[in-house]
Amino acid sequence: MTLPSLVLNQRRILITGAARGLGEAFARACLQAGAKVVIADVQVERGRALASELGGHAHFVEMDVSRQDSVQQALQNALAWLGGLDGLINNAAITNSGGKLMHELQEEMFDRVMQVNIKGVWLVTTAAATALAASGSGRIVNIASDTALWGAPRLLAYVASKGAVMSMTRSMARELGDQGITVNAIAPGLVVGESTEYVPAARHAHYQAGRAIQREQLPEDCTQAVVFLLSQAAGFISGQVLPVNGGFVMN
Domain ranges of the chain: 12-244
The domain defined by 12-244 folds into: Rossmann fold (3.40.50)
pLDDT tens digit sequence for 17-42:
999 999 999 999 999 999 999 999 99
Mean pLDDT over residues 135-160, rounded? 96
- 207 is annotated as an active-site residue: no
Burial class of 43 by CB neighbour count within 10 A (0 to 12, 13 to 18, 19+):
middle
Average pLDDT value over all residues in the chain: 95
pLDDT at 1 over 50: no
Rounded Cα–Cα distance for residues 233 and 133 (Å)? 18
* Confidence bin at 2 (pLDDT 50/70/90): low
70 vs 82: CA distance, rounded Å: 18
Alpha helices in the chain (DSSP H): 21-32, 44-54, 68-82, 107-114, 120-135, 147-150, 156-176, 201-210, 219-230
Decide if 146 contacts 163 (C-beta within 8 A). no
**Mean pLDDT across the stretch 126-130?**
98
Buried b (16+ CB within 10 A) or exposed e, 160-180: bbbbbbbebbbebbeebeeee
Residues 6+ apart with CB under 8 A from 205: none
Are 143 and 90 in contact by the 8 Å Cβ rule? The answer is yes
| Per-residue CA distances from 67 to 42, 53, 230 (Å) | 11, 28, 26
- 154-179 tens-digit pLDDT: 999 999 999 999 999 999 999 999 99
CB atoms within 10 A of CB 9: 11
3-state secondary structure at position 120? helix
Q: Pick the catalytic residue: 26, 60, 158, 207?
A: 158
